[in-house]
Amino acid sequence: MNTNDNNKTQIHLQNLVGIVLCFDFFVLNTKKEIKMIVENWLRLLSINLGWIDDFNKIIERYTKYIKQIKVFQILSKPINCVKFSPDGTKIASSFSDFTVVWDIESGKGMQMLKGPQLVNNIQFSFDGKLVLSSPDNNTIRLWDIGKDVKTLTGHLLGVTKAQFSSNNCMIVSSSSDETIRIWDVKTGREIKQLIGHTKCISDVQFSYDCQFIVSSSYDKTIAIWNVKTGKKIKELIGHSDNVIKAEFSKDGKIITSCSSDKTIRIWDVKSGREIKKLEVFSRWITDFKYLVDGQNIIFCTNDKTMQLWDVKAGVEIQALEGHSSAVTGFDISPNGNMIASSSYDKTIRLWG
C-alpha cells in the first residue's frame, strides 16, 4: 500500500471513529444496528478488525454491547439462583422452598418443584432430563422434571453446591461439613468422600472430562482432586479471603476462581501458579462465567450489577444495570446469546 492509500485509509478510519462516537453521544443504538454499520465499513475498506488498537477498542465496545431484553416479574419472593436448560429453551429458578421451570419464549412457568427448605442451588443434567437442587439442609434432591425421584443424604451440615458430571453418571457436592461427596446418579448412593479442607467448602465442580474435581473453600484455598482415587493432587494458594467459586476451563488446563478478597484469579493447572489477577476494588465477587469466546468474563458482586470484563486487558467493558437489589446469580445460555440473572428484587432478567 502506497503513501496516498495509507492517508486515505487513515481519513476513512477517522471518519468511522467519528461516526461511532456520534452514535455514542446522541443515540444509544442496538447492538445489531451498530454491528451492521461497522461490518459494512470494514467490508468496504477491507480493514482487519485489529488494524489500529484504538479503533479496535471502539469496535469491541459496541460489538459486545449487552442489553436487557426481558423481565420475569415474580411478585412473591426473592430469587436465589437461575440456570438455563441444555437446549436453551427453559430456565430454572429457585425461590425460598421451591424451584420453578420457565419457558423462555412465553415467560410462563411450566413446572414447580416443591421442597421443604430454602433452595440455594439448582442445575439441569447435561441431557436436560433431570434437575438437582440443594436445599438449605444436609440433602440434595434429584427431580425428573416435576417428580421428586431421589433424596441424597450423607452430609452432616448444609450443602453449598451440587453439580452433575458431563456424562450424567455422577453428582459432586460440597458442604459446610468440610467434605466433598461423589454420588451415583442412578442409585443415589454415595461413592466417595473427599476430605482435605479445614473450613466450609463453598463450591465444587467437575472437569469437563470427569477425571478431576476443583473445590473452593473459606480456608482461602482451592484444591484439585482425582475423581478415581479421591486424593487431593494439588492446592492453589493466593487468595487472601474466602474463595467463593473455582472452575476448570473446557480443556482442563486453566482454573479460574473468585473470592471475597475482591479478585478473580486465573491459575495454570499443571504448575499450580497464578498467571493473572483481576482486581475489583470496591466489591467482593460472588459468581463469574466466561462468554463463549473465552476472552471475556461476566461476574456479579454483592450489589445490583453484573460486569463484563476483558480478561487479557484486565479492564471493564460494560456494567449490566437493571436490578434494584443484589444480584444473587446468573447463567449464560448454551449458545452464548443470552444471559439470565436473578435477584432479591424478585425478578429474573434476560440479557442479550
Q: pLDDT (tens digit, 9 = 90+) per residue, 252-289?
A: 999 999 999 999 999 999 999 999 999 987 778 889 99
- Coil, strand or helix at 32: helix
Place of cell 421428586: 148
Distance CA(45)–CA(43), nearest Å, equals 6
Domains of the chain by residue range: 3-63, 68-351
Flag whether pLDDT at 18 surpasses 80.
no
Flag whether pLDDT at 198 surpasses 90.
yes
Q: What are the grid coordinates assigned to 62, written together?
A: 459496541
Write the pLDDT tens digit of every residue in 45-71.
554 545 445 555 555 554 457 899 999
pLDDT at 40: 53
pLDDT at 137: 74
**89 contacts 77 by C-beta, under 8 angstroms:** no
> Which amino acid, residue 265?
R
Residue 311 to residues 5, 131, 256, 265, Cα–Cα distance (Å): 35, 32, 11, 10
Q: β-pairing, 148-153 with 274-279?
A: unpaired
pLDDT at 64: 52
> Which amino acid, residue 99?
T
Q: Assign residue 113 a region: left if phi > 0, alpha if psi is -120 to 50, beta otherwise?
A: beta
String of b and e for 92-123 (b: at least 16 CB within 10 Å)?
Answer: bbbbeebbbbbebeeeeeebebebebebbbbb
Task: Show Cβ contacts of residue 249 under 8 Å, excluding neighbours closer than 6 positions.
Answer: 255, 256, 290, 294
Task: Show Cβ contacts of residue 46 under 8 Å, excluding neighbours closer than 6 positions.
Answer: none
Q: How confident is the model at residue 95 (pLDDT cuts 50, 70, 90)?
A: confident
Going by the DSSP 8-state scheme, the letter that residue 6 receives in this structure is: H
Task: Give the residue-averaged pLDDT of 75-88.
Answer: 88
Flag whether pLDDT at 37 surpasses 90.
no
Place of cell 440455594: 120
- What is the 3 state secondary structure string of 99-132? EEEEECCCCCEEEEEECCCCEEEEEECCCCCCEE
pLDDT at 132: 87
Task: Give the residue-averaged pLDDT of 73-83.
Answer: 83
Q: Taking each helix axis from N to C terminus, what angle separates 53-63 and 31-45, rounded to the nearest 10 degrees?
A: 140
Task: Give the residue-averaged pLDDT of 146-174.
Answer: 92
pLDDT at 338: 96
68-351 homologous superfamily? YVTN repeat-like/Quinoprotein amine dehydrogenase (2.130.10.10)
Write the pLDDT tens digit of every residue in 103-140.
998 888 777 777 656 677 889 999 998 988 887 678 88
Distance CA(120)–CA(195), nearest Å, equals 23
Closest CA to 164 of 155, 173, 156: 173
| Mean pLDDT, the chain, whole residue set | 84
